[in-house]
Structure 1
Amino acid sequence: MLTGDLVRLRPLEPSDAELMWRWNNDPEVGRWMFGSYPESLAQIARRFEELPRNSYAIAFFGIEPLHEQRLIGSVRLRDAEPETGAAELDLRIGDKEYWGRGYATDTVRVICRYGFAEMRLHRIRLSVVAENVAAHRVYEKAGFVVEGREREAFRRDGTWHDMVLMGLLEGELR
C-alpha cells in the first residue's frame, strides 16, 4: 500500500465498480471530468473484472482515508513511456464528503512520489479545465506549474472551455 498523511492508495477491486458507477452518474462529481458515453453498471463491472495489472504503462489506484476502509476516489498515472520518462496524472475524489479537506493534495503527493521513485519518471503532466479552481489549487500546492493552454478543448453543457496544461518535474514535488 502507498500511504501519505491522510490517504492510502490501493489497487482497485471488482467490488469498487458500483461506487465508480455512482460517481460517474453524479453531475457534481463529473462536472469537470473527461467522460465517454454513459455506461451501465454491468459495463463498468465487466471492465473492473478485467482491469489490467498495474504496470509501468498504467498505475491505477483507489483512494482511501488512512484510517478507514472506504473508497473515496481514484488516481492513476497513465501513458507512461520509458523513452520520455513521462506519464499523465488523472485524479478524482468521488466522495463529496472528502472535498476540500486535503485528501486530493495528499493523493497527488503520494502518487507523484510513487511515479518518481518507483516508476523512475522524470515528469508528470496533466490537463485541467481552466474553471476548475479547486483542482488548480491542489496541483499548485504539490508543485505543478502551468506549461500551456489548449483553447476551447473541452465541452460541457454546450460551452467550450480552455484546458490548462500543467507539469511537475522530478525534484519539484512539494
Structure 2
Amino acid sequence: MLTGKLVRLRAVEPTDFESIWRWSHDPEVMRWMSSGYPESFVQAQERLAAAPRNSYENCRFIIESLHDQRAVGFVRLRDAKPEVGNAELDIQLGEKDVWGRGYATEAMRLMCRYGFNEMRLHRITLDFAAENTAAHRVYEKVGFVEEGRVRECFHRDGKWHDMILMGLLEGELRD
C-alpha cells in the first residue's frame, strides 16, 4: 500500500464494486469522464471481476480516505511500456464530499512517485477536458506541464470540447 497523510492507495477489492458502480452512474462525478456505453450492474460486475490483475501495463488502485477508511476514488497508470518508460494516468474522485480537500493531489503524487520509483518510468502523461479547471489546478500543483491541445475531440452536453495534454517527467514531481 502507498500511504500519505490523507489517503492510502490499495489494490481494488471485490467489495469496492458497489462504490465504483455508484460513481460511474453519478452525472456530476462523470461530468468530464469518458463513460462508454451503458452496462447493467451484473455486466459491469463481471467486467470488473474479469479485469486482469495489476501489472506493469495496467496498475490500478483504490484511493482510500485515512480519516474513515472508505473508498473515495480510483487511480491508475495504464498503457505503460517498459521499452520507452511511459504511462498514462487516470484519476477519479467519486465521493463528492472529499472534492477540494487535497485527496486528488495527494493520490496523484503517490501514484506518480510509485510510477517513477517502482516502475522506473521516465514520463507520465494525462489528458482532460479543457473546461475541467479543478483538474487542471491539481495537475499543475503536482508538476504536470501542458504539452498540447486536441481540438473538439470530446462531446458533452451537446457541444464539442478541447482536450488538454499534459506530461510529467521523472524529477519534475512537486511535493
* TM-score, reference length from structure 1: 0.97
Question: Which residue of structure 1 lines up, in the alignment, with residue 77 of structure 2?
Answer: 77
Q: For residue 41 of structure 1, report the CA deviation from its aligned partner.
A: 1.1
1:102, distance to aligned residue in structure 2 (A): 0.3
| Comparing 108-117 and 44-53, the one that deviates more | 44-53
Instruction: Give the Cα separation in 1 of the matches to 2:118 and 2:51.
Output: 21
Distance of 2:67 and 2:157 partners within structure 1: 38
List alignment gaps of at least 5 residues for structure 2: none
Q: Point out where structure 1 has 5 or more consecutive residues left out of the alignment.
A: none
Distance in 2 between residues matched to 1:17 and 1:38, nearest whole Å? 16
- Matched residues, number: 174
Letter in 1 for 2:94: G
- For 1:151 and 1:49, how far apart are their aligned partners in 2? 36
Partner of 1:134: 134
Provide the rounded CA distance (Å) in 1 between the counterparts of 2:59 and 2:106: 17
- In 2, Cα distance between the equivalents of 1:13 and 1:40? 20
Match of 1:3 in 2: 3
Superposed CA deviations along residues 88-108 of structure 1, whole A, max 9, x for unmatched, are: 000000000000000000000
Question: 2:168 matched to 1:154?
Answer: no
| Shift >3 Å, 4+ stretches | none
Q: SS of 2:68's equivalent?
A: coil
CA drift at 1:19: 1.2
Shift of 1:129: 0.5
CA deviations 1:48-77 (Å, max 9, x no partner) are: 222311110010000001243200000000
Percent of pairs with identical residues = 66
RMSD of aligned alpha carbons: 0.8
Deviation, 1:27, is: 0.4
